[in-house]
Amino acid sequence: MTEPRAADSLYIERSGGFGGLRLSASIPVDELKPQEREALELCFEAPEAPPSGPDRFVYRLRLGDREAVVQEDRVPPGLEPLLRRLAGLWR
Amino acid sequence: MGASVRFIVPPQLFERVARTGAAEDREIALDTLAIDHSIRTARVQNAALGARTPKRLVAAHGGRGNPDRTIFNARHRADVHAGTVLRTEGQPPVPDSSANQAYDGLGDTYRFFWEVLGRDSIDDAALPLLGEVHFGVNYDNAFWDGERMMFGDGDGRLFTGFTQAVDVIGHELTHGVTQDTLNLLYTGQSGALNESISDVFGSLVKQYRLKQTADRADWLIGAGILGPAFPGIALRSMKAPGTAYDGDGQPAVMSGYVVTTADNGGVHINSGVPNHAFYLTAVALGGQAWERAGRIWYRVMSTRAVAPEAQFHTFALATVNAAIALYGDTSPEAQAVASAWIQVGVLTAGQVPTPAAVAT
């Protein structure tokens, strides 16, 4: 499966968890709320953290040529509603 | 804390008696051990938990074969340790079925470690077992956070509640045991070993509860928590890695090792290789898998035979050495372990330790 690199779409991949399932979703940037864009910037600027612990989810976020790997417990609060919205969209 | 208790006899000696001694010796040794539990429990817990939360440091009910369980209600939050208690040790079942499942699963796992391996809880010092149910909203996961076992309810589509399968609960509690023993780094091969050890003992807890022999066990992980939309029969198969669901990418042998940046270097993918090595060992030996294969794997943990950075190859040699130490260098057990790792491509015939190598 190709991973969109377009700058107009945010690609989100979730891996890890007890199940180790690898799921992904894309969302058009213009559907992101202002606080979600702000939280996304925080993720891109933060240094990559070590694993938070066994069986935690790990998110990979990509927008254009920017990418961030975010451990589940380090997701900024502003992004949490977006990740919950994706629950039914994972493929 | 009182300072009047002294170790007149090294506590290790008592522990050895408690684990291997005759029934009467065992009782005496265990009674003695109980006295200094308060000191050692406090020390171990403080180290393990970083004194993050004020809590009782002495096992109030537990130890010596009796678990000390507390099940909390996260009330669908995911940010703090819940304070609402649903069920404590010795209480009868409560209306919340997730709480009862967590309580029972933690009890089954405690009993397995105590009755089979002589280990008294996560830290071998009667650490209270804390579980938290209804974690998050439609949360498709369970995890050990270093202090508590957290269980989501699932989204109802891919997963139902994560307390519904004892192998899942055993898997999570075993992460605590690994943290207390080998403390394997959660990335790459050491992370995959960490995952595999949790699958091994998670599956053994289930087999022990069902009193199954190795050839009768399903060797599946997570079969009991799947929802109607899940495309398979389990999350992992130790018997046939890569076949549990449509898209299962687990390798059974080293040539299929997956190099990836996802999942901290594929820790839930590449665990297929050591999982399969354990399965091959267990079926080669026959009988109940916890009796010999489980004891061999556990010895690597309890003796802290490998470093936190251990790779598959190092761990494989350690299991062969453990089998030799327990059963002898020409034993069927040592041969079965070596053969299993050769079959999955982690060891080659020339690398299997000889008695001389074991002595070093």
Q: Which of A20, A50, A84 sits opposite B263 (nearest CB)?
A: A20
B177 burial class (0-12, 13-18, 19+ CB within 10 angstroms)?
Answer: buried
A–B CB contacts, 8 A cutoff, strictly below: 77
Kindly report the number of other CB atoms within 10 A of residue B287's CB atom. 13
Q: What percentage of chain A carries pLDDT values higher than 90? A: 74
Select from B163, B267, B273 the residue whose CB has the most chain A CBs within 10 Å, as the one to mutate to test that interface: B267
User: Is A18 part of a structural domain of the chain?
Assistant: yes
Q: Which of B143, B186, B187 sits opposite A18 (nearest CB)?
A: B143
In angstroms, what separates the C-alpha of B309 from chain A's closest C-alpha?
14
Using CA coordinates, name the residue in chain A closest to B162.
Answer: A18
Can you give the pLDDT at residue B61? 66
The single residue listed with the structure tokens 């007890």 is: A18
How many structural domains comprise chain A? 1
Measuring CA to CA, how many Å separate B14 from each of A4, A44, B19, B27, B43? Answer: 61, 54, 9, 11, 18
Spatial CA neighbour of B199 closest among A72, A57, A20: A20
Q: Which residue type sits at A83?
A: L
The single residue listed with the structure tokens 């997570």 is: B222
CA-angle at A34, arms to A29 and A36, nearest 5°: 70
In angstroms, what separates the C-alpha of B351 from chain A's closest C-alpha?
31
Measuring CA to CA, how many Å separate A51 from each of A23, A58, A78, B219, B354? Answer: 18, 8, 21, 28, 37
Q: What domain range includes position A34?
A: 9-88
CA-angle at A24, arms to B173 and A50, nearest 5°: 50
Which domains does chain B show, CATH number per domain?
53-164 (3.10.170.10), 188-359 (1.10.390.10)
Residues in chain B with CB shorter than 8 Å from the CB of A18 are 141-143, 162, 168, 171-172, 222, 235, 268
Residues in chain A with CB shorter than 8 Å from the CB of B157 are 88
What is B234-268 written as a DSSP string?
-SEESSSTT-SBTT----SSGGGPPP-STHHHHTT
Can you give the pLDDT at residue B7? 29
Per 3-state DSSP, chain A is made up of helix, strand and coil in percentages (nearest 5) of 35, 30, 35
The single residue listed with the structure tokens 């790792």 is: B341
Residues in chain A with CB shorter than 8 Å from the CB of B267 are 16, 20
Can you give the pLDDT at residue B63? 80
In angstroms, what separates the C-alpha of A12 from chain B's closest C-alpha?
12
In the set B172, B175, B195, B333, the catalytic residue is B172
Sign of the C-alpha dihedral computed for residues B79, B85, B88 and B91 taken in this order: negative
User: Is A76 part of a structural domain of the chain?
Assistant: yes
Contact yes or no for B263 and A15 at CB 8 A:
yes
User: Is A14 part of a structural domain of the chain?
Assistant: yes
Can you give the pLDDT at residue B39? 31
Token digits of residue B229: 């939309």
Q: What is the block-wise mean pLDDT of chain B (360 residues), using blocks of 10 residues?
A: 30 36 39 34 39 43 89 92 94 98 98 98 97 94 96 94 98 98 98 98 98 98 96 98 97 98 96 98 98 98 98 98 97 97 95 52
Spatial CA neighbour of B187 closest among A72, A13, A16, A76: A16
Can you give the pLDDT at residue A84? 80
Q: Which of A51, A55, A87 sits opposite B187 (nearest CB)?
A: A51
User: Is A1 part of a structural domain of the chain?
Assistant: no
User: Is A77 part of a structural domain of the chain?
Assistant: yes
Catalytic annotation present for B268: yes
Confidence of residue A82 (pLDDT cuts 50, 70, 90): confident
ipTM of the complex: 0.90
A66 burial class (0-12, 13-18, 19+ CB within 10 angstroms)?
Answer: middle
Can you give the pLDDT at residue B351? 75
**pTM (2 d.p.):** 0.85
Residue B331 Ramachandran class (φ > 0 left, ψ -120 to 50 alpha, else beta): beta
pLDDT in tens, A17-56: 999 998 999 999 999 999 999 999 999 999 989 999 999 9
Listed in sequence order, the residues at least 6 apart from B335 whose beta carbon sits closer than 8 Å to its beta carbon are none
User: Is A3 part of a structural domain of the chain?
Assistant: no
Catalytic annotation present for B172: yes
